[in-house]
Structure 1
Amino acid sequence: MKSFIFLLVSVTFSFEIDDGKVKGSIIYNRTGNSTGWNFLQISLESIENDEDVFAAAGRFEGEESREEIYNAYRNYVYGLQGGRHFLPKSLQRYVHNQYNWLKEQSQTQNTSYWRMVKYLLIQLENMYEGYNYHYGKTEKALSFDQFYFLSNMGDLQDLWPSVGEVQTQGIGNCNSFYKPGIMAHTTFNVYQTMLRIYKSYNFKLKDKDVVNQHLSFTARPGDLESKDDFFVLWDTQMVVTETSFNNYNKENYEYFHYDSVPCWIRVNIASRLAKNPKEWMDIFGLHRSGTHNNQWVVTDYNKVYMGEEAFFIYKVHDLTNTLLNSQGYVASYNVPLDQEIFDSLKYPNTTSYNDDVRAKQFRMYQGNLRTVREIGRLLRYNKVTDDFDICDGAICPRCDLVNENEYPFGGIDGKVISQDMIKVKKVHLISSPSYQEHQMFNWKAFPNIPHYGMTDKWSFPWYELDETNFTIKELYQDY
């Protein structure tokens, strides 16, 4: 095994801002082309005003990761927005109106919820200022609207189709799997999004309503939430995951209203303020926007809750004594459990929560799996049979290998954390399209598809990240 101690490529420093109200350190490790991940740790303490913590965190992240942010923006624009650097006017009005409404509410309402909104907007705006400080007068300059694409990309996934610009993909988008004592997740996406960063925010705040001072999540540069759908809340020892829903009902887009809180903010608020999975679901459901509709699975290893949202509907299920007891695990794979939500999205009648192709595979393969390594391997599984395709229907798809319609889309990572691991602040990670049963992915097979800032060959192993000293240890290959 190889252990990596971040020294040579780290930036670690203590600082005081002009008024001396914040102290702390930042570690940023540009190891993406050698491990598949960049790593960012921001540890800050509030001396007088919590706003200063979020401002400093945003500014220094924007400065230190500016090159990766620029590459992530280009990969997003050319990989997911079809080369469009600007939103249609109707969507831009919606985003502007929503942002202005958020600013107004956060400045006039002094509740724990709206204070968190204010903190997050401060962090976002200062991250842009940090980026703009270096790139504002260069060819890498971005407007704030363009910069906001990155944090808001999940919500844009529902906004774009509302104006007929993007058609909903039929393939699923992620897996989440819980078996008593172990939580795991795999992200599906176009491979242009493989510019990854693991973020650890440890903020010692004075706000007594903040329960989770230390949270970590897998993300992309410039993103203030885990669009990769995996959060660890260290203080309450909760894990938060999601898989996204497809929408086949155009009428649902009539629900959008700008006086609402987008998903990327709501997930951060719930993760900071909730003491347990039920509270997380309750807080997350406030001021819903109807954008980025998902199936959330949250556990503290005692209780397992599922929250499902579909535009105007929000349902919460305590699965601890129902689904978990009946089948011994809880899985999420982009298909609604609740029948009303299933019907409202007009999912095809050829699938259901119990009969989806991935549901069948989880039932078939999970029986004897008990260890972190075994569960990790399951979430990366891609074996072609007469019943299971390499692309649409695989637990960890490799659509780049489908000869008649190949395109770089599939499962791009794996994250696993157990109840024992969370107690000692460790998590297991891998970044690569699955290569268990197939050749590794190589960008040289797609020379005309933009993939800025990425290495060509993707066969990185699993790593264990230790949050206590912020080091990683190589574990094993993807087999």
Structure 2
Amino acid sequence: MPITVKHFYLLMICFVLHKNVEATVNASVTFDPSTGLYHIHENIKSDSVAWATFTDEIFKTGWSYLQVWTNGTYDDTMQVYAAGLVEGYLTRSLIKNHWRNTVADYCNGEIEYCYRLREFLQTNLNYMTDNISLYRTTRSYWHQAGLILEQISGIEDGYMNAPTQPRTKLDVVGIMFSNICGDLEDLEVVLKKTRPRRKLGEGSCSALIKLLDGNKDIYVAHDTWTAYNTMLRVLKKYNLQIHVSPQKGSPLVPGHTVSFSSSPGMIFSGDDFYVISSGLVTIETTIGNDNSTLWKYVQPEGTVLEWIRNLVANRMSKTGAEWVSWFKKFNSGTYNNQWMIVDYKRFKPGKEISPGLLWVLEQLPGHVVSGDVTKVLLKNGYWASYNTAYFPDIFNMSGSAEMVKKFGDWFSYDRTPRALIFKRDQGNVHDIDSMTRLMRYNNFTKDPLSRCNCTPPYSAENAIAARCDLNPKNGSYPFSALGHRSHGATDMKLTTFGLSQKFEFVAIGGPTHDPLPPFQWSKSDFSKDLPHHGHPDLWVFKPVTHHWK
């Protein structure tokens, strides 16, 4: 077919767009003391309060990359607000698309629930801001909480490209709303959303911590399991020169620098996966709560939502024991997870391992249980996590024991499919490639451990990396999580002792494939009903290791 003038212009537009999305762009924020205003510049100024680089390679690698620095000669509040400004400005097109994909229609058909949700969130925000105002100068926790809210306000203003001063009040359904995505899973139940997102038995992430033979290395890997409309992702690195408290002479927080997988407009991971300057790597998988008697502990006052508590713990902690101590304060009972905290400072390749290398914490409304499980890691050679509670008290209290009685081993801790697959295959991990293969593993039509009392007799949920879009739409399943839906493992992140020293990790974007057919929006039955603005059509990407500047 001959190329017409119209075709030529279309090709040129595509070329320019492709070129633009792969270009690295810089920006910085300066402060004018004469007016009290911050200003955003499309280059890096020598007197910047904060500056950043951004590269959008979503169509090339499945990821975009953001790196933010702040200037420690400015006070903490100025730093984090400016950091938010520069991030909001550089990633504004991604924020817009991610909002359209995941938030814009959230309240459709749920107006009464959304009124209750907004009231809950506003009451909770008022509780936090009151405590920040009263105790910021004397209690480190509230200083950090204040910095988190100020960074969010910066992103909101940067998105609008508005030179301004930090606002004292946030809109709970503004940019902040994107950051409560995990907490929403439980708030939907508590506040009686008509159609809550969480399905019975729904998996939400796989994780593996693997100790190599002879203690040569320890790998930490994580798969996000979520809906496919969330796949507009950003790998971020923050270098924030912030302090334990606003008092003069206060030291920098241990977690002043962190790299993590994230999404547009979010200042935490959400997956979660963090490599931190303290030497800690923190990850989680969701365990959920099926015990309705515990929801009474989810209250808007006296609690702090999980996304903020995890950021405070990441910033303030030097050890696993310190991390669980910070995190369990003001337990909201929302986004109930099993957290794993690996302390690479306690690991030397080929040497004997000391206690404290691996801590695990599990949360339910009103309850937190934690412990040093390094001995378990040493005994088994690995620690696997797959949305089931490890500690018996949490397992029983969460309602899991009742689910086992009702549905069988699928809801158990040690006999659920992923537990058995990890146990069977973790011994084959000897290097990064074999670890990656295990974390992306799904051969559900042939693996006997993927079978279920279903028609057909297997489910793509029963794998390390789920692909529920491949379950037949007309199949029969004992509970909805095993069926056909836009849900699966949408990434993989993996770090090692050596990579973690450079804040680096291997990352793969998009649903798993090989031997499975890759996910393609135009061939899926979700494409018309599920927004996916800014997404590649075909998700086939290789592992990448981003080298931070």
Could you tell me the TM-score, scaled by structure 1's length? 0.90
Q: For 2:157 and 2:112, how far apart are their aligned partners in 1? A: 20
> Which residue of the other structure, out of 296, 303, 311, is the alignment partner of 1:260?
303
Identity of aligned residues (%): 29
How far residue 96 of structure 1 moved from its aligned partner, in angstroms, is 0.2
Q: 1:355-434 maps to which residues of 2 (within 5 A)?
A: 355-384=415-444, 385-388=447-450, 389-404=458-473, 405-434=483-512
- Between 1:49-58 and 1:383-392, the stretch displaced more is 383-392
1:474 corresponds to: none
Q: Deviations over 1:162-221 (max 9, x none)?
A: 133216312211011101211000000010010101111101235415112111111110
Q: Cα gap change, 1:411/1:86 in structure 2, threshold over 3 Å: closer, same or farther?
A: farther
Q: 1:35-54 maps to which residues of 2 (within 5 A)?
A: 35-54=61-80
> Which residue of the other structure, out of 231, 250, 255, is the alignment partner of 1:212?
255
* SS at structure 2 position matched to 1:46: coil
- Between 1:98-107 and 1:74-83, the stretch displaced more is 74-83
How far residue 90 of structure 1 moved from its aligned partner, in angstroms, is 2.0
Question: Does 2:527 correspond to 1:447?
Answer: yes
* SS at structure 2 position matched to 1:88: helix
CA RMSD of aligned residues (A): 2.3
* SS at structure 2 position matched to 1:366: helix
Amino acid at match of 2:467: R
Question: Does 2:267 correspond to 1:198?
Answer: no
2:366 corresponds to: 312
Q: Retained in 2: the 8 A contact 1:45–1:205?
A: no
2:386 corresponds to: 333
- Between 1:250-259 and 1:267-276, the stretch displaced more is 250-259
How far residue 436 of structure 1 moved from its aligned partner, in angstroms, is 2.2
Q: For 1:14 and 1:223, how far apart are their aligned partners in 2? A: 19
Q: For 1:86 and 1:413, how far apart are their aligned partners in 2? A: 35
How far residue 154 of structure 1 moved from its aligned partner, in angstroms, is 0.8
How far residue 343 of structure 1 moved from its aligned partner, in angstroms, is 1.6
Q: Cα gap change, 1:211/1:85 in structure 2, threshold over 3 Å: closer, same or farther?
A: farther
How far residue 88 of structure 1 moved from its aligned partner, in angstroms, is 2.3
How far residue 45 of structure 1 moved from its aligned partner, in angstroms, is 1.4
2:41 corresponds to: none
> Which residue of the other structure, out of 460, 463, 469, is the alignment partner of 2:544?
463
Amino acid at match of 1:273: M
Q: Cα gap change, 1:167/1:200 in structure 2, threshold over 3 Å: closer, same or farther?
A: closer
Q: 1:251-330 maps to which residues of 2 (within 5 A)?
A: 251-258=293-300, 259-301=302-344, 302=346, 303-321=357-375, 323-330=376-383
How far residue 11 of structure 1 moved from its aligned partner, in angstroms, is 1.9
2:16 corresponds to: none
- Between 1:35-44 and 1:441-450, the stretch displaced more is 441-450
* SS at structure 1 position matched to 2:255: coil
Q: Deviations over 1:301-347 (max 9, x none)?
A: 330010000111100121101x2122111111100011121122212
Q: For 1:398 and 1:433, how far apart are their aligned partners in 2? A: 7
Q: Retained in 1: the 8 A contact 2:107–2:114?
A: no
1:16 corresponds to: 30
The runs of 4+ residues in structure 1 deviating greater than 4 Å are 78-87
Q: Retained in 1: the 8 A contact 2:222–2:273?
A: yes
> Which residue of the other structure, out of 182, 186, 190, is the alignment partner of 2:219?
182
How far residue 256 of structure 1 moved from its aligned partner, in angstroms, is 1.0
How far residue 87 of structure 1 moved from its aligned partner, in angstroms, is 5.1
Amino acid at match of 1:386: P
How many residues are matched?
A: 455
Q: For 2:235 and 2:112, how far apart are their aligned partners in 1? A: 28
Q: Cα gap change, 1:33/1:167 in structure 2, threshold over 3 Å: closer, same or farther?
A: closer
Larger radius of gyration: 2
Amino acid at match of 2:368: Y
Q: Retained in 1: the 8 A contact 2:122–2:172?
A: no
Q: Retained in 2: the 8 A contact 1:336–1:352?
A: no
- Between 1:35-44 and 1:209-218, the stretch displaced more is 209-218
Q: Deviations over 1:85-115 (max 9, x none)?
A: 8952222111001001111111211221111
Q: Cα gap change, 1:14/1:226 in structure 2, threshold over 3 Å: closer, same or farther?
A: closer
Q: Retained in 2: the 8 A contact 1:46–1:206?
A: no
Q: Retained in 1: the 8 A contact 2:185–2:197?
A: no
Q: For 1:298 and 1:79, how far apart are their aligned partners in 2? A: 36
How far residue 143 of structure 1 moved from its aligned partner, in angstroms, is 6.2
Q: 1:48-63 maps to which residues of 2 (within 5 A)?
A: 48-63=74-89
Amino acid at match of 1:377: R
* SS at structure 1 position matched to 2:390: coil
Q: Cα gap change, 1:83/1:153 in structure 2, threshold over 3 Å: closer, same or farther?
A: farther
How far residue 132 of structure 1 moved from its aligned partner, in angstroms, is 3.1
Q: Deviations over 1:377-436 (max 9, x none)?
A: 111100122331442221101111111353221000000000111123321100010012
- Between 1:89-98 and 1:18-27, the stretch displaced more is 18-27
Amino acid at match of 2:498: D
Q: For 1:52 and 1:167, how far apart are their aligned partners in 2? A: 37
1:122 corresponds to: 150
Q: For 1:371 and 1:8, how far apart are their aligned partners in 2? A: 31
Q: Deviations over 1:26-76 (max 9, x none)?
A: 001121122111111001112131110100011121122112112111211
* SS at structure 1 position matched to 2:369: strand
How far residue 247 of structure 1 moved from its aligned partner, in angstroms, is 2.1
Unmatched 5+ stretches in structure 1: 1-5, 135-141, 470-479
How far residue 260 of structure 1 moved from its aligned partner, in angstroms, is 1.1
> Which residue of the other structure, out of 177, 187, 204, is the alignment partner of 1:173?
204
Q: For 2:108 and 2:379, how far apart are their aligned partners in 1? A: 44
Q: For 1:200 and 1:386, how far apart are their aligned partners in 2? A: 41
* SS at structure 1 position matched to 2:428: coil
Q: Retained in 1: the 8 A contact 2:141–2:312?
A: yes
Q: Cα gap change, 1:334/1:82 in structure 2, threshold over 3 Å: closer, same or farther?
A: farther
* SS at structure 1 position matched to 2:304: coil
* SS at structure 2 position matched to 1:325: helix
* SS at structure 1 position matched to 2:226: strand
Could you tell me the TM-score, scaled by structure 2's length? 0.79
